[in-house]
Amino acid sequence: MTRTSQWAIPLGVSLGVPIGLYVTFILLGAFPFFQRHFLYAHRINTLFWHNLNKPEYWGFARSQVTPFSLTTVDEETIYAWHILPLPTYLKHEDKLQAQQPGFSDNITKTTSFKLLKDDPEARLVVYFHGNAGHIAQGFRPESYHTLTDSSRYHVLAIDYRGFGKSTGTPSETGLIHDGAAAVDWAMHVAGIPACRIVIMGQSLGTAVTSAVAEHFILQGIEFVGVILIAGFSDLPTLLSTYAAAGFIPVLSPLRIVPPLLRFFQRFIIDKWKSADRLAHVVSLTQTRLRLTFIHARNDAEIPCHESDKLFKSAASAILHGDLDNDNFSSWKEIQTLRRDDGTFVATANAEPDIIIREELVPYGGHNEVMMSAAVSLAVMRSFGLDAS
């Protein structure tokens, strides 16, 4: 055996195995069943060793979190958490300590629910998480703590169909039904009007948030705030640059052959066209809108320029006449406050009372950005706490 053959065989194997796995992954992804499992990763969770009905495991006070379920228009059962703000909890601690902890078959009978429904000033954040895992997986409980530990905001978080303890199989239409069911419960069961509801999403949850905002504004319902953290413009565009877990490419290797990339993009079933939906939301707003995009500069999964696309689509809806890319960039630069660390805040204002804000923060990556001050401040601005 020659020296050339000695190293050629191991080299061929080392290159052939990952290429073969990637080709297999791409071909399987053309089938709806596998594609949705790859996209939503809803079966990847820790239910085997985590009991979601015991939120105290994640540092919550006894009965601060009430697990319950709600039903969608297509009869799926969606698992949810209602999380009380600690200042409210403290005022009613004795009653809440006496409440039976764990899953509630009838949440309307609980003390925690009554503290939400009976408070005429109660404010609610409806939280839509990203793909994979469940309602309490990874950093998610910490992000709930960030929102509730020192504020007076209630949080409603759900697991989409097929995630965690929820029934069904995920799809774009299905997840929109799930998000709408959460908001319907908040408005019609808990009695919280849209003017006291912020809808917020992270990663995949930004697509759900955008779709839910469009769903309700078509009915004339406008939320006090819409917040998207680590969002993306649409799924086919995202997958051309996306790296799962920050290092596993999806369609990005195909960018060197644009016709091949476009061919495989045609097989993507759930499009999640958030940029178009948000432009629609802005154009239909009749009273007030606080639309916020937050992205970490060091996000290794969804590039921060995806939030640039969302901002452009939303802001273009308030501009008179279409601007090409160069003219829009010039206009945006005027609206932008740049910082010495490379981050920025861009703001667009329009009548009747529309503020669209994009903020690039320096740290936080794809997930930990949820615990940044920028998110809490966005919620405060949405509720008008920045008004003099």
Digitized pLDDT (tens) for each residue of the chain, 388 residues in all: 555 555 555 545 454 555 666 566 565 566 666 677 778 888 888 888 889 999 999 999 999 999 999 999 999 999 999 999 999 999 999 999 998 889 999 999 999 999 999 999 999 999 999 999 999 999 999 999 999 998 899 999 999 999 999 999 999 999 999 999 999 999 999 999 999 999 999 999 999 999 999 999 999 999 999 999 999 999 888 877 766 656 666 666 666 666 766 766 666 778 999 999 999 999 999 999 999 999 999 998 899 999 999 999 999 999 866 777 888 899 999 999 999 999 999 999 999 999 999 999 999 999 999 999 999 999 999 998 876 5
Say if strands 153-158 and 336-338 run parallel, antiparallel, or are unpaired. unpaired
Task: Identify the pLDDT of residue 206.
Answer: 98
Give all strands (DSSP E) within 129-274, no chain letters. Answer: 153-158, 197-202, 225-229, 243-244, 248-249
Task: Identify the pLDDT of residue 268.
Answer: 78
Is-contact 102 54, C-beta < 8 A? yes
Q: What is the DSSP letter of 187?
A: I
3-state secondary structure (DSSP) of residue 92: coil
Cis geometry, peptide bond prior to residue 55 (ω within 30 degrees of 0): no
Q: What is the DSSP letter of 253?
A: G
Task: Identify the pLDDT of residue 270.
Answer: 87
Is-contact 252 240, C-beta < 8 A? yes
Amino acid at 162: G
Is-contact 231 214, C-beta < 8 A? no
DSSP lists the bridge partners of residue 201 as 128, 228
Residue 223 CA to residue 238 CA, distance in Å, equals: 27
Is-contact 250 236, C-beta < 8 A? no
